[in-house]
Every structure is written in C-alpha cells, then in structure tokens.
Amino acid sequence: MGDADRRLVAVGAQVKADFETQRTLLSFGEYLGLALENPRTFARNAAQYVKDVFDHFGTEMHEGPGGPVRHFKLFDLNLDGEGCVAGQDEVQNAIYRVIANFVRLGRINKLLLLHGPNGSAKSSIVAAIKRAMEVYSHKSEGALYRFNWIFPSDKTVRGSSLGFQDRKGSRAELPSFAHLEGEELDARLPCDLKDHPLLLVPRQERRAMLEACLGSQEGFSLSAYLLEGGLCHKCRQIYNALLGLYGGDYLKVLRHVQVERFYVDRRYQQAVVTVEPQVSVDAAYRQVTVDRSTANLPPALHSLTLFEPYGALVLASRGLVEYSDLLKRPVEAFKYLLGTTESAAVPLDQFVLHLDELFIASSNDKHVAAFKELPDFASFKGRIELIRVPYLRSYRVEQQIYDQTVTPRTVGRHVAPHTNRLAAMWAVLTRLKRPIVDRYSGELRDVVEDLSPLEKLKLYDHFEAPDRLSLHQAKELCARLKEIWHESDTYPRYEGGSGASAREVKTALFNAAQDPDRKCLTPQAVLSELRALCKDKSVYEFLQQEIIDGYHDHEEFVRLVEAEYLDLIDEEIRDSMGLISETQYKEMFERYILCVSHWVKGEKLRNRVTGEYERPSEAVMSEMEAVVMPPEENRAEFRRGLIAAVGAYKLDHPQEAVDYVRAFPELFRRLRDHYLDERKKTLRKNTERVLAYLAGDRKMLLPRDLVLVEDTLKAMRERHGYCDACAQEAILLLMKKRYAE
C-alpha cells in the first residue's frame, strides 16, 4: 500500500470512528433509559441549555473601574481564528441574568434586544454564544436529541424479525425500527422543528414521570415546554395516524421513532440561525411533496396532507435565533415576533408553531430611540429585555481587539511596539465624556472638574489618579471611581455611546499597514491615518461633537497619543542606550535623603562599599543640591526643611513607604530638566551613530562605537521588540520631536 493510500485508510478509520461516536441513533426505549438516568441534562429547554453553556465554560472575576465583575469564559473561546470578545463583562452578566430568569420562570417569554452604537460587538457577542453552543453540543453533557419517524419496508416487516431487534442483535424488549438502514427502510421523516423526544410521551404521563425523577432536584425547574408542550403539527398527525393503525397501541407507535443526537451548527443552521434584516419570511409551511419517501408511507398515512414548516424560526428551534439589526425592518415585520416570544408560538394559517428557542436581536441606539417613539412601544416594552452594549472604555481591553486581528500574519509586515496600544488609547479617548461636575461636592468636585480626558483614560485603565493630585485627593478620586464610571449610565447620551468604533480604528490600522514608505506597521503610520480620519467630518458623526473642556477634541487626541508615544520610546531608547532612567533619579534622590537625614541628626552612615561608619558625604549632598536647590537658599535650612517635610509626609501616610516623586514634585522636575540637557547631548551623539549604522555607513564608525550601536539595537530588539526598521523610525522621531537643537 502506498503512502497516500495508507493515509487515506487512516483518515477513513477516523471518520468512521467519529461517525459512530457522534451520530448516535437510539430507539425510543434506549433514549428514555438514558433520559431517566440523567433527567437534568435531557429535560432542558433552550434557556436551560444556553445557561448551561455559560456555566460550562466557567467564570472568573475581573477587576474593573466599576468594581470586581464576573467574566464568562465562553467569550474567550478563540476557535477558527474568529477571535474572542474583549471585555463587555457587564453585558455578559446582563445576558446571563435574563436567561437565568427564563430558567427560573420555566419559559422564554421575552426578546433580548442588544443595543448600542454601531460596531460595539453586539453581533460578536451573539456569535461567541453560538460558537460556545456548538462546542458544548459535542460534549456528552451537552448532547441534544431530536427524532425521526421510521417506516420499514414491507419486506423487512414480513421477511424476518430484523425490524424488531435492538442494536446488539438480541431480541429487544421494546421492538423498534430505529436501527434499520438502507434497503430495510421505506421512509424516514424527520421532525423539522426538532421536537424534543420527550414530547412523544403524552402530557399527563410526561409530567408525572418528569416530576417523579426531577421533583427533588434542587435548582432545577422544569420548563413549560417540557411540561405542557406537545408535538408539532406534522408529528401529531403522524402519531395519531399510527395510533389509529395500531388500534391505540402506544408502544407500537413508538417502534417508528428513531431518536437522533444532533449538534448545534452555525453553517448548517442547526439550532442557531442569524436573520438579516432583509429576510422577509421567518416561518411558513409548505405541503410535503409526494416523493419516494411519502409515497412509501404506510397506507394509513396516505390520506394525510402533511405540512412541513420552514424558515429561520424553525431551523433555530431548540437553540437560538438572532435578528441582526431587527429595528431596520418595518414595525409590521417584527410586531408578530414580539407576540411570538411572549407565547412561544407562531400562528400560521393552518396551525400554530410552538417554539423552544431564545430570541436575541440587535439594533443600534438610533433605531431604538425611534422605536420608543412609536405608539405601540408601550405594549412592546414588557416583551423586550433591553441590554446595552456600549463601546469599551478601557484602552487595555480595547487593545485586545486589535492585538487579535492586527498581527504580522494579517498585515504582512512587522508590527512595531505600541502600535495597537496607541490606536486603542485614541479610540477610547474619543468615547470619553466630561464628568458631570454637579454630582460631586467639596474637594472632589474641583478634582473632577479639572480631570482631563487623558487623565480619565488612565484612571479607567489602571485606576490611578493623576500625579498632580495630592495623596488625599488621589485617594478620594479612586474611592469614587465606581460612581464616575456609572455616572452617565441612565442618560440617553451615555459614555461609551459614541466615538470611534473598533471597526473604524481597525480599518485605520489596516490602511496604515499599506503605507508604501514603511517596512513596518508603526505608530506614526497609524497616527497619520487617524489624523486623516479626523478631517472626514461628514463621514464620522462623532467628529461633529462639540468640544467641551478638551473632551471630544479628536484631533488633539492624536497629538496627546503621540506625546504618550514619545514618552514610551524616550524611556525605551534611553534604556537601550544605557542612559539614565527615571528609576535611577529616584535612587539617587533616596541616597541623598539618606545622607541628609543622618546629617541633620549628626549621625554617621554606613559606607556601602567599605562597611565603615562615616560622616555623610558632603560631596554627594552638594552634587544633588547643585541641581535641585534654588541658589538663594541656605543649605542647612534646606536640608532641615526636607527632613521635616518627609516627617510630615510619614505622619499623613503611616502605612506607606515615602513616595519622593509625589512628596517633592518640584525637586524632581529640576532633577529631570538637569539631566535632560546632558541626555540630549549623549542621545544626539548616539543617535547619529545608530542612524549612520542603519544607513549602511558602518565604515564611518570607530570599533568602539560600532559595539555601542550594536548593543543598542540588540536591546531595542530583545528588550522592546523593535526591528531595525522601526527602531530607526522611532529614534528619528524622538530626535526630531524631543531632542532637536
């Protein structure tokens, strides 16, 4: 056997194994046996099923600006590269709450309407739920069953007892045609609605049976669908005809039942269906046409006119139907749907369709606002659960969206450090609203009044107050963060309801990646895309917002983000060149304070090198004072003043280590400025060398400098993720913007 053949045989074996484990066919007796063993899993309606999907994947707690919030891990599933849903924990919880209510109530009586600005992940959230349902339906605890009507051929029935054997070949106690195949069969009629097999048990007996085995199960409430539901119109007709045929022998009717496991499948629209706004028919029926299968029905069934329902609502039965942009349809087109959700039934001309499915719709805020103006709205209101899906307001979470879609693989070039982060910062800045000052009083009011968009951005992201605030103010601000976060929740123009969408920013990122003058996708390329976007006021509605105290100033935000970028590369480039960094200032200053405190007390200090105790070094102290002390001050007084200030700080903050940057912001500013000059000189020199090297002029460099340059680039690459091309661009930018003469 050739290699290819062998491989094919292996594939064949696998396919067969999968087929056998996955496509489980059962007689009704076999099914009922399983169901009674594990009624909790078998007797679920669609709401219970979807709730179990949420629970199956588990939860974890996430820290957010509004406090700790439960996150459902099903939204993290990243299958077939479709990406996961970043953030939106509050929405996840709202959806879960509504579904849990349906479960408690035992019926699905409302439509979930996800609404928000355009591109806020409404569809992505539903897609994630559908994906998770698919995965879960392949697990044993997620097994779903439907049934078919089986009609054996005359030959089978007359010729042997074949039709009455169970799978193992032994004589079955309850004979069934369920395991007949191919030639042995004349017809196999599936139930289009995927009726729950337990509906084959007459209502009263079913109720008694389910209550007997589930009555004592804590936390499980039987749904109306299973307690009160009945077979669909077609199945009922077949059932009645067979019952007549067998003179009322129920067990003989059940022989014709073949229970089949099915799987949630988006592609084949099994139990999950998305309806686009232009689709006009959600459910209808047609007469079953006479073909081989119906012609071969037993004579008793020939007189029946069978109708089979079809349409999205039918396909979605036992699962979930999603109406995308529901309110884009004329009201008349979805009015009936609201009635449908309430009663779980769709009235068609000839009969009523009873459904077991979740109804989730999405719409943008504008359409919802218009909908609320309709006279009918009052009567619709009680049948809809409105769930708001705003834009994200934490840039680190927003960045996750870009990180999963904007990668070297998708853009075809290196993605320079910080690119996605800066895009995310800009996106979130465009969404922030000026705090509503009147809600606060006292000192906090002033603090909130002066909170700039960039400060708010950082507050939301890492719960950190601006450095300019006193410790007391900072504490107060952080303590009230939750209020600030929820401030506009009930307003029609809430925070997260407008601004740039992830979709728009993603487009800017992909456009930036096309820049013919660059090798990498860099922040500069993205910033110039965003600058261009800001000019398109007629295209993007959010650009037309009025600027209020720096909020909604989208062009300015591009500059702010660029300044953030410069800070980042300043630090990284300096670090890569081995120049002094922020933390080093702090260490120097701490050493200085240590000397001064001993000096003030007249104590000796242990020399770190020799281990000897000696007087604090006057040289160390005056070196620092030359930089930080105003020239007219008295040196001794200055030192005593410092130590007194440290003492006062400790009294105010007994629990914390002294944060010198906060305690002495002015001194640190002087320190920074002083080193800036020095740094400029060195940086300029180093930069010239790096640029010469990258331009290919290596011969111009001394061997010593060559090593230096190579070390710098290595550090940029290994510590910070730059390739030579984007390192060059970053260094040039930093030189031009910060260290030009």
Ligand X SMILES: Nc1ncnc2c1ncn2[C@@H]1O[C@H](COP(=O)(O)OP(=O)(O)OP(=O)(O)O)[C@@H](O)[C@H]1O
Question: Tell me, what DSSP letter sits at residue 177?
Answer: S
Taking CB within 5 to 8 Å according to partner kind, which of ligand X, Mg ion, Zn ion, none is near residue 364? Answer: ligand X
Give whichever of 199 and 321 is closer to Zn ion, judged by the CB atom.
199
In the list ligand X, Zn ion, Mg ion, none, the entry touching 420 (Cβ below 5 to 8 angstroms by class) is: none
**One of 568, 726, 730, 733 touching Zn ion (CB under 5 A):** 726
Alpha helix ranges (H) inside 3-88: 3-22, 28-37, 39-42, 46-57
- Decide: is 123 part of the binding site for Mg ion (CB under 5 A): yes
- Cβ–Cβ < 8 Å for 271, 144: yes
Distance CA 659, CA 186 (A): 85
- Cβ distance to Mg ion smaller for residue 325 or 515: 325
**Footprint of ligand X on this chain (CB under 6 A)?**
83, 85-88, 118-124, 362, 364, 392, 401, 502-503
Which residue in 306, 307, 371 sits closest to 335, CA to CA?
371
Rounded to the nearest angstrom, the gap between the alpha carbon of residue 458 and the centroid of all alpha carbons in its chain is 21
> Whole-angstrom Cα distance, residue 741 to residue 736?
9
Site string for Mg ion, 68-107 (x = CB under 5 A): ----------------------------------------
- Nearest CA-CA partner of 367 in 313, 427, 324, 430: 324
Strands 320-323 and 358-364 turn out to be parallel
From residue 214 to residue 233, the character string flagging contacts with Zn ion as x (rule: CB under 5 A) and all else as - is ------------------x-
Binding residues for Zn ion, rule CB under 5 A, total: 10
Cβ atoms of 453 and 429 closer than 8 Å:
yes
Comparison of 261 and 414: residue with beta carbon closer to Zn ion? 414
- Which of the listed partners (ligand X, Zn ion, Mg ion, none) does 105 bind, with a CB threshold of 5 to 8 Å by partner kind? none
Task: Decide: is 260 part of the binding site for Zn ion (CB under 5 A).
Answer: no
How many residues are recorded in the chain? 741
Residue 35 or 112 with smaller CB distance to Mg ion: 112
Q: How far is the CB of 131 from ligand X (least distance, A)?
A: 13
Question: Which segment (101-109, 119-127, 188-196, 420-428) binds Mg ion by CB under 5 A?
Answer: 119-127
Q: Does 716 bind Zn ion (CB under 5 A)?
A: no
Nearest CA to 368 out of 705, 111, 653 is that of: 111
Closest to 60 (Cα-Cα) out of 47, 50, 75: 75
C-alpha dist (Å) from residue 530 to 505, 511, 549: 8, 10, 21
**Is residue 194 a contact residue for Zn ion (CB under 5 A)?**
no
Closest to ligand X by CB, 258 vs 274, is: 274
- Cβ atoms of 380 and 341 within 8 Å: the answer is no
Of 68-76, 195-203, 267-275, 423-431, the window that binds Zn ion (rule: CB under 5 A) is 195-203
Q: Which does 593 bind (CB under 5 to 8 A by kind): ligand X, Mg ion, Zn ion, none?
A: none
CB closer to ligand X, 91 vs 185: 91
Which one of Mg ion, ligand X, Zn ion, none interacts with residue 726, CB within 5 to 8 A by kind? Answer: Zn ion
CB of 695 to ligand X, least distance (A): 40
414 binds Zn ion (CB under 5 A): yes
Total residues binding Mg ion (CB under 5 A):
2
Strands (DSSP E) found in 479-619: 605-606, 613-614
Between 48 and 92, name the residue whose CB sits nearer to ligand X.
92
- The two three-digit tokens of residue 269, written as one number: 């629209």
Nearer to Mg ion, 113 or 242 (CB): 113
DSSP 284-320: EEEEPP-SHHHHTS-HHHHT---EEEESHHHHTTTSE
Q: Which does 435 bind (CB under 5 to 8 A by kind): ligand X, Mg ion, Zn ion, none?
A: none
Phi then psi dihedrals of residue 456, to 5 deg: -65, -40
Six token digits for residue 542: 């959010």
Residues in Cβ contact with 560 at an 8 Å cutoff, skipping those fewer than 6 apart: 429, 453, 454
Q: What does 94 bind: Zn ion, Mg ion, ligand X, none (CB cut-off 5 to 8 Å by kind)? A: none
Rounded to 5 degrees, what are φ and ψ at 600?
-60, -40
120 binds, among Mg ion, Zn ion, ligand X, none (CB under 5 to 8 A by kind): ligand X
- Please say which residue, 124 or 258, places its beta carbon nearer to Mg ion: 124
Closer to Mg ion at the Cβ: 505 or 595? Answer: 505
Among 36, 284, 646, 723, binds Zn ion (CB under 5 A): 723
Instruction: Give the Cα separation of 238 and 245 in Å (integer).
Output: 10
The single residue among 99, 113, 235, 731 that binds Zn ion, judged by CB under 5 A, is 235
CB of 545 to Mg ion, least distance (A): 23
Collapsing DSSP to helix, strand or coil, 190 comes out as strand
Helix (H, G, I), strand (E, B) or coil at 492: coil
Which 164-193 residues touch Zn ion, going by CB under 5 A?
191
Q: Name the residues that contact Mg ion, by CB under 5 A.
A: 122-123
Q: Name the residues that contact Zn ion, by CB under 5 A.
A: 191, 195, 232, 235, 414, 416, 520, 723, 725-726
